[in-house]
Every structure is written in C-alpha cells, then in structure tokens.
Structure 1
C-alpha cells in the first residue's frame, strides 16, 4: 500500500486538498481561530506521512504541482486592490508609511532576537524574510545564504499566526480603521493573513493585498542591508 501511495503522482495533491478541506469544514463548524484550515492541513499531512512511513520527497513529487499555483494566486490578490484604487489614492501616504514601519519593525525584531539568542549569521538571514510571501522569501533567503526550507516553514508559521490572531490583535489595540487593519495584517502575515483580512472586509482585503507586494519589495531591499548587521 505504501509503495502504491509513494509511486502515485496524485498522492501529494490528494492529501493536501483533502486535509485542507477537512480543516475548512472544522473551521465552519466550530468558528474558532485554532481550527485554521492551513494549520489543520499541515498537521494532518505530517501525521499521515509519519504513520504511513512515507518520506517527504515522495509526498512532494505530487504536491509540487500545487506550488506552481502559488505565484499566480499571489498575483490575483491585485484584483481587490484595483477595486479600491480611489481609496488608496486618497490615503497613499498613510498606507506607505504603515507598510514601511511594519517592514522595519519586523527586521529590527529579528536583529534583536539574533542578539538575544546569539544566532548564527545563517540562521539570522533565514528569519529576515519571515513576513513576506513564500515566492519572494525563498529567493531572499537563498541570496543571503540562509536555509531556504526553514525560511519557508517560518513564513508559513508567521502567516498562520497572523490569520489566527490578526483580528484579535486589532481588537486588543482598538484598531478600527479598515485601512490600518488591512495594512497591518498584510505587512505582518502576507498572503495567508490576507485571506483573513478579506473575510473581515473589502477594504481590509484590498489594503492587505497591496501590503504584500510593497512589503515584499521593501524587504528585498532592506534585508540585504540588515544582513550586514549580524
């Protein structure tokens, strides 16, 4: 049975889709942030691979086809931004200031963490692109000499946490302005967080979509500079 699963080109795709759908159904039923579909899918896939004794390479042979959809899916996030273009034009200074401050805060926090925990340079640069989309973060990590696979894991964890607690953090700090909420979530937790922002409202989703692209570009530029600090 294991040999059949490992040799099947559709195994990785099927497992990923079924696990995510299971997570979606749990989220709809319990309406709790902990039942994040992506988090459930990741956990369920790991458990299944361990129980069946299937190595990651065999799983990825099929799952990699889903990865091809990552970049076009990210590009499609420009649609809600386009629909809110007039609102963006009126508030572009505040939006850009918010994204810039979010990017710098993320990088400075990683630098502080490197100092506190005495991280190696490789580990430090691996964490720098944690708040941008995987499509961009992988390239940044590789260019700076980091561990790309760990970067991917950290980016996913960051996004899942943003998806789960982003709205709660906004409530905690009484951030009610839709533009501010969208910029904060998109800058801090990229596409996965943006999925939650879209559920919060059209404006939040549009501003979060914009933040992904701008934060990605700013991180590419600033990460190269910050890589010399540790």
Structure 2
C-alpha cells in the first residue's frame, strides 16, 4: 500500500545512476535529504529574525518611532509584488525559500503571545479591583461591539459592490505535534528543573538557569493544550492551558527553592539581552511575526484586489471604532487614564499593539499585552457561536469580523472550522494592525485620543 522513504530514495538513486543502490547509499541519501530540509527551515527563520534585528537597530539609531517590523513588512510585500509583475519565477522562488520559516511561525504563533500573560500576576498587583472590573467589561463589551460593527460594515459593502465570491486560495495547515516533540521537551523540562534546584546559578544567573525549564513548561503546555479534545478547547484555549502550565511551574519551583512565585516570574521576562528569560526568547519572534504578514498578504493578493472594497472599508472602520470607542468608554467609566491608554490597542495583535502603546507616555506594555491576549481568548471561545446567533453567513464578513475583533486567536478559532474564511481572516489580521499603527503614528490622532481619555 505505501512506499517507505528509503524505497523512494533507492528508486531515485537507481534512476539517476542506472545501478541498484546499496543500503548504505540509501541511508546516506535519506540522511542528507533530512539534513537539507532542517537547514532550510533554520536558515529561512534565521534570516527573518536577522532582518527584524537589523531594522530595529537602524530605526533606533535614527530615532524613528514608527514600528521597524511594520516597515519591513511593507518592503517585503512591495518587493514580492514587483517581482511578481516582472519576474514571477523569482517571486515564487523567494516564497519557497521562506516557506519553512513561515510554517514554523504559524505553527507556534499563539505561543509568542504568552509571556506577558504569564507575568500578568505581577502586572495586576498595581491595578485596583474596581479598575480590573471596568477593564473586564471593556474587553468583553468592546470585543462584541467591534465584532458587530465590522461584520455589519463588511456585509453592507459586500451587498453594495455585489462582487461574486470565487474559490479562495488553499492555506496550508502546519503539521501536528508529534510524540517525539512531547518526550523531547519533557526531558528538557525534568533535567533543567532538577538541575536548577541543585545549581541555581549554573548558567551564570538565576534567570538563565531558570530559562530552560520555564521555556519547556510553556512549550509543553501549548502542545498538550493543542491536543485536547475540541469540546475542552472551546472552554480552555491552548494558550490559557499554556499560561497556567508556566505559572504553575514557577509556583512549584518557587515553593521548593523557597524563593517565592514573584521572583521566579521576574526571571521569565527580564528585558535584558545579556540576561534573557524564557519569555524574552518567545517575545523575540514577534518582529518576525509581523514580517510574515507580508507573505500572507502576497499569497492572497488576488483576493485582496477582487474584494478590496469590503476588506479595506470594514478594516478601516473597525480600527477607528476600536480605538476611539475604547478611549470614550474608558472616560465614561472613569478608568484611570494610564490604564485606558494601555488598553487602547486591545483588538490588535501583540506584536503591533506593543509598538502602538510605545507611542503614548505612561502606558504599561505588560498590561497591554495581557489585555490583547485576553481579548483574543474571548474571541477564540465565542466568535463562531456569536456570528451564528447574529446570522452572519457571508465568509467575508465572518472572517474580517473575527480577525478585526480578536486578532490571531480569533482567526485561529474560526478558520479551524471554516477554511473558506481563513484568507479574509489573514488579510484582516494583518491590515487591522497596520491601520491601527499608522493611525496612532499620526500626532493629530494621538492627541485626539488623549483628549477623549482626559
């Protein structure tokens, strides 16, 4: 029924040389083939990280406030479009080269949002309970309002332009997690956890020593959470399972080592390049996530051209509504201005939300990231049922509304069951962050938001 990899390799060698290969030749061919594949994805991912790092340094040196990764995304998209018009074969080769790195990013995408959620217990200590309740109401009510406004806008424009919906480009799903990965990360966790107890500064500092087991517990939590049954994941999203896993590990280590929970969570994000924590490693991929948007949009460029009116109008309306409604509601419920500023980009993916709040003085990046992820969790759990109850059937409206109100997590939740909505989710996911960032980069818009906040 099936042909093994060795048999296929053997046939390939035989067809090329005319001789029957030996077992050693077959094994060597298979080994080198696997090695090339591994080197390919490492090189493509490393190049994305390198581009992000270089852009950051250039923008910092030039004191440019605009997000460097977003500029890089625009550049990559423009280059791909120009190559597609002039030399399509080079554009295709460009896409094929980066494809393994992009698959890695999309496979682990939710994991890159986790770090600020893990250290949320440290961030919320300074937030009074009354303010926390107000923020929770803004998260839930704001998500629902943004979902409705975006969906109704997309549907209204869709009816006005009457563009026929054609078959969408298929989107490749990342491979599932294997048992080998589970056992490998389990081994890293157990060995590093025990070693950290007996040798607390074995790697120079406690943050470095705690890094392996805190990272392993985060990754394991995500893998196990992803393998839970669908009815469980509808209640406990993998990213929530992942967060609990990391916090529980920090608590157990703090208890056994008698250092306490707070210091161990402090090792999770150090914001120091010379002394990074597990969270810093994961956050280091956020720039490459933004760069990957360029490839997603290029893949769906035909769809973007055909349905530009629906997509761009609804995303622009959604971005403006989300920012100004959050500022207004924060003022009406008398939420502290610094907290209102911190939650302004609640519907924008973490990678760009952090860039947005950096434009405002007094904003707390940890709170911003946590609120963004919590908004995504709300959307991931309720987006499909809410859209069904509101009777939104059009895949364009469903996809754009899901991504614009709950960014990547809403996208993942809806597209898992509705592949036809995924292209619109991917486009809106990127464009929503782009428009939000561009808007907040305009001084007049920032001043108007601050005036509303008070």
Contact 1:133–1:191 (Cα < 8 Å) also in 2: yes
The answer to whether the aligner puts 1:99 opposite 2:315 as a matched pair is: yes
Counterpart residue number, 2:235: 34
Deviation digits for residues 202-226 of structure 1 (CA, Å, limit 9, x no counterpart): 4422211211222112222444242
Counterpart residue number, 2:20: none
Distance verdict in 2 for CA 1:72–1:85, change over 3 Å: same
The offset of 1:196, in angstroms, is: 1.9
Deviation digits for residues 149-171 of structure 1 (CA, Å, limit 9, x no counterpart): 10010011011111111111111
Contact 2:289–2:351 (Cα < 8 Å) also in 1: no
* Runs of 4+ residues over 6 Å off in structure 1: none
Counterpart residue number, 2:63: none
Cα distance in 2 for residues equivalent to 1:32 and 1:20? 11
**TM-score, normalised by the number of residues in structure 1:** 0.88
Contact 1:187–1:211 (Cα < 8 Å) also in 2: yes
Cα distance in 2 for residues equivalent to 1:203 and 1:79? 19
The offset of 1:12, in angstroms, is: 2.2
The answer to whether the aligner puts 1:172 opposite 2:381 as a matched pair is: no
Contact 1:12–1:62 (Cα < 8 Å) also in 2: yes
Which of the residues 124, 140, 149 maps onto 2:356? 140
The answer to whether the aligner puts 1:12 opposite 2:214 as a matched pair is: yes
Deviation digits for residues 170-214 of structure 1 (CA, Å, limit 9, x no counterpart): 111111111111111111111222222331334422211211222
The offset of 1:31, in angstroms, is: 5.1
Cα distance in 2 for residues equivalent to 1:229 and 1:71? 31
1:87-126 equivalence runs, <5 A? 87-126=303-342
The answer to whether the aligner puts 1:157 opposite 2:374 as a matched pair is: yes
Distance verdict in 2 for CA 1:164–1:150, change over 3 Å: same
Cα distance in 2 for residues equivalent to 1:27 and 1:84? 31
Cα distance in 1 for residues equivalent to 2:368 and 2:407? 14
Cα distance in 1 for residues equivalent to 2:229 and 2:359? 37
Distance verdict in 2 for CA 1:82–1:197, change over 3 Å: farther
Contact 1:80–1:202 (Cα < 8 Å) also in 2: no
Cα distance in 2 for residues equivalent to 1:181 and 1:74? 23
Contact 2:225–2:239 (Cα < 8 Å) also in 1: yes
The answer to whether the aligner puts 1:69 opposite 2:69 as a matched pair is: no
| TM-align CA RMSD | 2.2
Counterpart residue number, 2:412: 195
**TM-score, normalised by the number of residues in structure 2:** 0.47
Which of the pair has more CA radius of gyration? 2
Cα distance in 1 for residues equivalent to 2:288 and 2:415? 18
5+ long unaligned stretches in structure 2: 1-193, 201-205, 255-260, 270-276, 441-445
The offset of 1:16, in angstroms, is: 0.7
Distance verdict in 2 for CA 1:202–1:74, change over 3 Å: farther
Deviation digits for residues 76-129 of structure 1 (CA, Å, limit 9, x no counterpart): 355454443323222111111111222222123312321232122211111111
Give SS of 1:143's match.
coil
Distance verdict in 2 for CA 1:189–1:166, change over 3 Å: same
1:52-67 equivalence runs, <5 A? 52-53=253-254, 54=261, 55-60=264-269, 61-67=277-283
Distance verdict in 2 for CA 1:106–1:91, change over 3 Å: same
198-207 or 154-163, larger mean C-alpha shift: 198-207
The answer to whether the aligner puts 1:218 opposite 2:419 as a matched pair is: no
Give SS of 1:9's match.
helix
Distance verdict in 2 for CA 1:74–1:33, change over 3 Å: farther
